[in-house]
Each structure stands twice: as C-alpha cells, then as structure tokens.
Amino acid sequence: MARAALVTAMDGSPAGAAVVNLRGLVKRYGAATAVDGVDLAVRRGRMHGLIGPDGAGKSSLMKIVAGVLAHDGGTLEVFGQAVTSERSAERVKQRIGLMPQGLGQNLYAELSVEENIDFFARLRGVDEQALAARKRQLLAMTRLERFRERPMKNLSGGMKQKLGLVCTLIHEPELIILDEPTTGVDPVSRRDFWAILDGLVDERGLTALVSTAYMDEAARFATATMMLGGRVLAEGTPAGLLAALPATVVSVRCGEQVEAQRRLGAHFRDTMLRGAWLRTVVDAAPEEPASERARRAEARVREALAGLAVEALDTAAPDLEDLFIARAAPAGAPAPLPASAPAARRAWPPGYHAIEAHGLVRQFGDFRAVDQVSFTVKPGEIFGLLGANGAGKTTVIKMLNGIQPPTAGSGSVAGADMLRAPGQIKRRIGYMSQAFSLYLDLSVRENLRLFAAIYGVPRARRAARVHELLRLCDIQGIEDMLAGDLPMGRRQRLALACALVHEPEVVFLDEPTSGVDPVGRRRFWDILFHLARAEGVALLITTHYMSEAEQCDHISLMYAGRVVADASPEQLKAELGARRGALWAFDTSAPQAAVEALRDAGFADASLYGTSVHLLDPDGATLAARVAVALAPLGIAAGPPQRRPLSMEDVFVERVLELEREAAR
C-alpha cells in the first residue's frame, strides 16, 4: 500500500490530521465507570500510545474506537464520521485493524500460519489476486515465510504476535489498534515487532493506536497519553512529558543494603532494588537547573545514608517509568514491609545452595528442550533465568520442582534430591506459575486459607500466617473480594501470598508480572527484596522485563535449551562493553530510514529506541563522522552521538542475535 494511495483513501486530509477524535467519552459497566470523560485525538500517519495500569480504561477505549464496543456518553469521530450507532460503526470498521490483548488471542490454534491469514482475508473480503501479493509481502516482512505450514499453537510467543499483526494488516487498514501487542514476548521479538511497526508507520503513513506495559516502548510514540481510573493523567511527546518531571535518579551501592533501602524509602517517594544497587528518585523544584538538581540530589542521598559505607553513587535523568510512577502511584508511600522475626532468617551451613542443577536434559521425542543446564542459587539470592520464548526456562523450573522428570542430569532444591525426593521438594518450595493458580470464585481470605490447608500449615498457625501475608503482600482491606474481581497487580500479589503461605525456603516465579503495570511491578519487587534480604528466601524468577533482570543478583541466559551466559548483570554488561564497545544514541530527521542505512553500512547493532537510534561502537571519537558518511546519500541529518549506559536488554538482544547468526551460518 503506497503512501499516495493511503492519502487518497483518507479523504485527502493533510498529514497529521485527526483520524480519531474523542470528546468527553464515557463507558460504564453497571455502576463502574471505565472511561470517564476522555478527550483524545489520534493524528494520521503517527503512532499514538496509551499508558496506564490495569483498569485504567485503555482496552475499553480501544474497543470503542474499533467499533466493537458502544460508548455511553461523549462523542466519537473516526475518519471524520460520527460514530453514534452500530450501523455507523460498521461504516468505518473495514478501514480499521484491531489486535486484542494476549498472545495469539485473535488467532486460531489449530490452523496453520497460512490458514489463519487466509481466514482473515476471506473475513475481510480480500480478493484472491490481492491476497497473494499481500501475503507474500507481509510474510517476508515478518520472516514467517518458512513457517507457512506450522500450526499457530506451535509458534513461539513472538511469532504468534507477528502472525497476529499480519492478520490485522491483511486487508490494508488505514488505522491499526494494538492492545499491548508485546506483553509476554521476549526482548528480541519485541524489537523485531517494533521495527516492523515503525517501518509501516514511516513508509506507508499508517496510523497506529497502541497500548503498552513496557515504558521503553512508550518512548517510541509520537504522542503518549497516560491514563488512570478512566481519565487522562498527562499527554504529550515523550520528551515533553519527561520535561515536566523535575527530578534526578540516584543509584547507590551500599554494603548495608537493607538499612540503606529503609532509609531511602523513608526520605524519598520512589526507591527500588537493582541487584547490588538501590535506585531512588529525588524530586526537585521545577525552576532548579538540571546541573544543580544532580548535585543537590547526590547530597541529599548521602545525607540520608550518613554513617553507612557508600561504595559507589551515580546520577541520571528520570525515564518514562519514573514519570508513570510519579503520576499513577497513590499519594504517599506504600505500607512498610514487616520486620522479620529473628527465627525467620535461617542458618545455613557453609557452601550450602538452595538450588543446584547439574547437567539437566529434557527430551521430547526428537526435540531437546533442555540441554545440559547447570547453575546454583544461594539462600537469599534473587536468581534470574532469562531467555527468548521457547528457550526452555519453564521446562527447567518444572524439572527442578518435580512436575516433570529429567531425561538426564541431577539436582537438589531446598536440600532435597530432585530425583529421589520430589515430594519433599514440593513441600519446601513455593511455585507461582504464569497462569496464577488461584481459585477465582473464592475470596482473598478463602484462597489463603485453602492453600494453607493444602500445604499443611498447622491449624493453630493459619490465622496468624494469613494476617502476616495480607500485610506483607499489601492486600489487607480486600480480604472479602473475590480473586476474579481483583485488578491484575493485586491478583498477582495474592498469588504470591498463596505461594508463601507455608514459609518455603525456595520460591519459583515463572513470569509473575507479565501484563502488570509498572506500579504493580514495583510493589511486587519490594516484596521479593524483603523475602530475599530479610528472610533469606532463595528466589528463581523468569521474566521478559529487562528492567526486572537488572534487579536480579545473578543471571543465567538460556538459548535453544542451553545456558549461554552466567554472571551478575553488572558483569554481563561489562563483558558486552569490552567486546562490542559503548552504547551510543543520537537523534535523526528520519530514524527508521537511518537505522536501515546504518545497518547497510556495517553498523549491525543499529536499532530504533523511541525516536533515537542506538548502536554499539568502540570508537566514539570517529563515530559522528562515520554516521554522517553513512546517512549523507539519503540526506538524513544526525545529531551528535550521546553515550548511554548499557542495559540488560542490550546484553540479551546482542547475545541472542549473535547466536542466531551463528546458527544461520
């Protein structure tokens, strides 16, 4: 679909004209108001983002715009047409593509890749001649061509989302609506997905309304709207929104981490664990210069930590997640976590490991899902098991906790041999699966009592333990609510409480915060920090949020069933910097075209991050000149490269892409 054709299709409206106009939009479900007087304009040829916690009203708003949900008040115009009834909604539906939330939720599991595409094409009335050309183009763009015959149910999470995008685009819509399209998708697949979407918006003039739970993705939007409780909190460009947050982020490494966290939490509204570091947001007066903000922020943090040994301290500008927390978090800090009883911290013999895995193998017919995996986890350690969808992480967890027997290898969990005593392991561990194993028709209190009985907690101890967990997991006051009625963040904390009811020595958490907003994830990690540092619980967690990977003490990165990296986040980032150079960011007049030109010029790591281009390079002194030479033939101007700190996402993506290139060779 050429840009010129799209302009004609959209009534000749100029670039940047509003495709969607909402004024005072209202949506109610019984007594609950999901969308409460929202004003919003989505401009043609741009990507407009919606950011907000679960229950903020994002999905309802998107379904209303897509014409699949009626609104109860206000006005809605799409492509200049008032949408006031089901009939008027039908008139614009053919020009819209909707991709609902959830991996493959708009797809059919038993159909192949090609059969899914053909089904949606017939549903949308695409003629056979046009279908063949569009299918060929979209399959090539998403690199799904060689998987035409594979059933959808056998695709990885990232491939399901790319197929979902193909099916959304097959009728060439002018507006696409994507509801958290990358939730539960690994970082490599997320970057791939966004590269495709950025290209469609840039090259074809497509308009996109997208919601996301990943704040780094929010930096890609031309305009971002933050929502809470059905209302708009803030709206603007990502840079403009950040300019409205006068604050400095201070990261500090301190040997007495628990005490340092307590002090910083008492002085500053937003403090979180980042592995060996504590990260805190220090607010400043709006008129204070940025340089002065950093100096004063450092001084205030050092004053709060007076008497403690500060090993290192860094300052940085806040990011969109910091802004979101500042705007969306309830006023005041959450209730402090309870102090541990002296008996809660167990005494371990020297050299004891809470988890040991030695050469684990799991074979399914001819497919080896896990191949010689080995690692250890100490008591009180937060251990991250990372990998792309299908890397084997969940299979490793199931073998360790006795759900699946290994084909080969050995190990122990909480002092029990995984081969000889799987029953003991199950009694000594907590397990929080991706599906949150709760009874949705039971209340919060009833779920906790049931799990206490299942795990054999003595009757005399149950009431006190339930009370402790309600406070620890910040779910007091909602004891009589049904689990099925809880927002995602609270439901996730209830699931954690149920996994902790018998005071386990080891807890396994398999993507526990997938789909949870940043406020909920911060609170969840406060609890994990308390469990590890104050109570000595060993935690093994899988996650696709690379900001969470930064919070782990140690990381094992899996690829195709094997462990391909094993170190602390700091060590992994230092190793990447030594091998590939520093991370550089610069702004350009045409970011997507710049990425493609730079890759053609040999900058294989060039990628789009928000409106900036990121790349790894060891020679900062000559980088600006080499970038200018690469972009000159296209007439693209580039700003000066700015050095940025490496992240775990950079480590993950670089390592996995390197392994994929090796496998291709």
Domain final residue, candidates 221, 240, 259: 240
pLDDT at 37: 96
Query: Is the same domain home to 624 and 556?
Result: no
**Is the pLDDT at 505 greater than 90, yes or no?**
yes
Determine the residue type at 533. R
Q: Given pLDDT bands bounded at 50, 70 and 90, which one contains residue 294?
A: very high
| Residue 428 · residue 506 · CB < 8 Å | yes
Query: Is the same domain home to 407 and 467?
Result: yes
**More reliable by pLDDT, 236 or 105:** 236
Average pLDDT on 293-316 reads 94
| Helical packing angle, 488-500 and 518-535, nearest 10° | 20
How many whole angstroms separate alpha carbon 587 and alpha carbon 603? 16
pLDDT at 471: 92
Predicted confidence (pLDDT) per residue in 187-244, tens digit: 888 888 888 888 888 878 899 999 987 777 888 898 999 998 899 989 999 889 988 8
| Helical packing angle, 157-169 and 113-123, nearest 10° | 30
3 state SS of 222: coil
Q: How many domains does the chain have?
A: 4
- Give the CA distances from residue 538 to residues 167, 324, 588, 659, in Å, rounded to whole numbers and listed in that order: 43, 30, 46, 30
Predicted confidence (pLDDT) per residue in 85-101, tens digit: 999 999 999 999 999 88
- Asked whether residue 324 is assigned to any structural domain, the reply reads no
Query: Is the same domain home to 392 and 439?
Result: yes
| Residue 213 · residue 544 · CB < 8 Å | no
Query: Is the same domain home to 179 and 300?
Result: no
- Asked whether residue 93 is assigned to any structural domain, the reply reads yes
Q: Given pLDDT bands bounded at 50, 70 and 90, which one contains residue 3?
A: very low
**More reliable by pLDDT, 436 or 581:** 581
**Is the pLDDT at 10 greater than 70, yes or no?**
no
**More reliable by pLDDT, 331 or 395:** 395
Query: Is the same domain home to 102 and 45?
Result: yes
Sign of CA dihedral 113, 118, 119, 120: positive
| Range of weakest confidence among 186-200, 444-458, 539-553 | 186-200
Predicted TM-score (pTM) of the model is 0.83
How many whole angstroms separate alpha carbon 37 and alpha carbon 27? 9
Q: Given pLDDT bands bounded at 50, 70 and 90, which one contains residue 152?
A: very high
For residue 178, what are its two tokens?
């994507």
Query: Is the same domain home to 255 and 375?
Result: no
Closest CA relative to residue 498, chosen from 415, 442, 418, 459: 442
Cβ neighbours of 483 (radius 10 Å): 21
How many whole angstroms separate alpha carbon 530 and alpha carbon 336? 10
- Asked whether residue 597 is assigned to any structural domain, the reply reads yes
- Asked whether residue 328 is assigned to any structural domain, the reply reads no
- Asked whether residue 336 is assigned to any structural domain, the reply reads no
Query: Is the same domain home to 531 and 465?
Result: yes
| Helical packing angle, 157-169 and 128-142, nearest 10° | 150
- Asked whether residue 654 is assigned to any structural domain, the reply reads yes
Mean pLDDT (the chain, rounded): 88
Predicted confidence (pLDDT) per residue in 379-404, tens digit: 999 999 998 878 899 899 999 988 89
Query: Is the same domain home to 18 and 152?
Result: yes
Domain final residue, candidates 533, 567, 601: 567
Residue 580 is part of which domain span? 571-664
Please give the share of the chain, as a percent, with pLDDT higher than 90: 56
| Range of weakest confidence among 396-410, 421-435, 559-573 | 421-435
For residue 292, what are its two tokens?
């002065």
**Is the pLDDT at 13 greater than 60, yes or no?**
no
**Is the pLDDT at 157 greater than 50, yes or no?**
yes
Closest CA relative to residue 399, chosen from 382, 366, 375, 383: 375
Domain final residue, candidates 240, 274, 302: 240
For residue 37, what are its two tokens?
């007087």
Predicted confidence (pLDDT) per residue in 339-366, tens digit: 443 334 567 888 899 999 999 999 999 8
For residue 638, what are the contacts with CB-CB under 8 A and spacing of at least 6?
Answer: 586, 587, 588, 589, 594, 613, 624, 627, 628, 631
Query: Is the same domain home to 494 and 556?
Result: yes
3 state SS of 529: helix
- Give the CA distances from residue 216 to residues 127, 174, 229, 524, 614, in Å, rounded to whole numbers and listed in that order: 39, 26, 22, 20, 13
- Asked whether residue 322 is assigned to any structural domain, the reply reads no
**More reliable by pLDDT, 61 or 244:** 61
- Asked whether residue 278 is assigned to any structural domain, the reply reads yes
Query: Is the same domain home to 532 and 595?
Result: no
Average pLDDT on 107-122 reads 94
Concatenated DSSP letters of 102-120: STTTTS-TTSBHHHHHHHH
Q: What is the CATH number of the domain that holds 643?
A: 3.30.70
For residue 606, what are the contacts with CB-CB under 8 A and spacing of at least 6?
Answer: 594, 595, 598, 599, 613, 614, 615
Query: Is the same domain home to 235 and 266?
Result: no
pLDDT at 255: 83
Determine the residue type at 470. L
Query: Is the same domain home to 562 and 584?
Result: no
